[in-house]
Amino acid sequence: MTLTLPAPAKLNLFLYITGRRDDGYHNLQTLFQFLDYGDSLAFAPAPDGELRLEPNLPGVPPEQNLIIRAARLLQSKTGCTRGARIRLTKRLPMGGGLGGGSSDAATTLVALNHLWQLGLSQKQLAELGLQLGADVPVFVRGHAAFAEGVGERLTPATPPEPWYLVLAPGIEVATAAIFTDPELPRNSPVLSLEQRLSLPWENDCEALVKKRHPEVAKLLGWLLEYAPSRMTGTGACVFATFDSREAAEQALNKAPAGVSGFVAKGCNTSPLFGALRQITDN
């Protein structure tokens, strides 16, 4: 039996940094929404605890891949001796602020919990996920959310679900480099979700990333000619909001040379859980 499940992208519809903790991590207020576009993972059972991932990602040794790390974490926390062969179809640009690695990790936790019949709750999986990255819990929970803390305190939210054009400038931005930059603003006020929703939506990392990476500034400048646009996470991807798929595709067709992108619908429920429900119902 092979279990094939999506690992969708996320957007940070807004992102405010409200402080730095003693351990160097930052407290945030961010609004996460999923996209109906992302990576795909296929899981097949394997004997003797064997974990194999194919293909490998360029520049990422298998033991550092968040997919293998998530599977090992599940094995070690539960004492499970079963294994898996995992096939990854990578569509999301790495270092793009779309949460690809985190989403791959979350899909792995959810899929192997099912395949290995571990019976862990969503809460337990989200807690395990947080050990792998600040963005993993929201993907495990599967609902658009206002996130606080380092990203783990989640309040479900239901922002509008428009069409987005997401563009990648062809560079990777290292999240850690932005969070350790002395020029990063870290003093946005802590507001309620209602207050945040009613104010213009911004990203506190955007000005700094534009300064450090002129490619991002140039692409955002181009995109803003078409529609309201922002950066997601710590970049490098930028996104614009449209009322229709056609309007987003028209802008994509005119994208500058060297820029790749895709059109996707915002989803307040993760496509991961729709796919899992279809499998468990059959």
Ligand X SMILES: Nc1ncnc2c1ncn2[C@@H]1O[C@H](COP(=O)(O)OP(=O)(O)OP(=O)(O)O)[C@@H](O)[C@H]1O
Ligand Y SMILES: C[C@](O)(CO)[C@H](O)COP(=O)(O)OP(=O)(O)OC[C@H]1O[C@@H](n2ccc(N)nc2=O)[C@H](O)[C@@H]1O
CA 212 – CA 246 distance, rounded (Å): 33
At residue 100, what is the residue type? G
233 is a site residue for ligand Y (CB under 6 A): yes
184 is a site residue for ligand X (CB under 6 A): no
As measured in angstroms, the least distance from the Cβ of 86 to ligand X is: 10
CA 264 – CA 248 distance, rounded (Å): 9
Residues of this chain, 133-162, that bind ligand Y according to CB under 6 A: 133-135, 150-151
Given ligand X, ligand Y, none, residue 201, with its beta carbon under 5 to 8 Å by kind, binds none
234 is a site residue for ligand X (CB under 6 A): yes
C-alpha angle 172/176/182, rounded to 5°? 110
- DSSP, collapsed to helix, strand or coil, labels residue 115 as helix
- For residue 148, list its beta bridge partners: 153
CA 32 – CA 103 distance, rounded (Å): 12
Contact string 161-180 vs ligand X (x = CB under 6 A): -----------x--x-----
Of 33 and 226, nearer to ligand X (C-beta) is: 33
Stretch that binds ligand Y, among 34-42, 120-128, 173-181, 216-224 (CB under 6 A): 173-181
CB atoms within 10 A of CB 76: 10
Q: What does the block give as tokens for 268?
A: 């307040």
By CB under 6 A, name the binding residues for ligand Y. Answer: 12, 15, 24-26, 28, 30, 97, 102, 133-135, 150-151, 175-176, 179, 233-234
List the catalytic residues: 10, 135
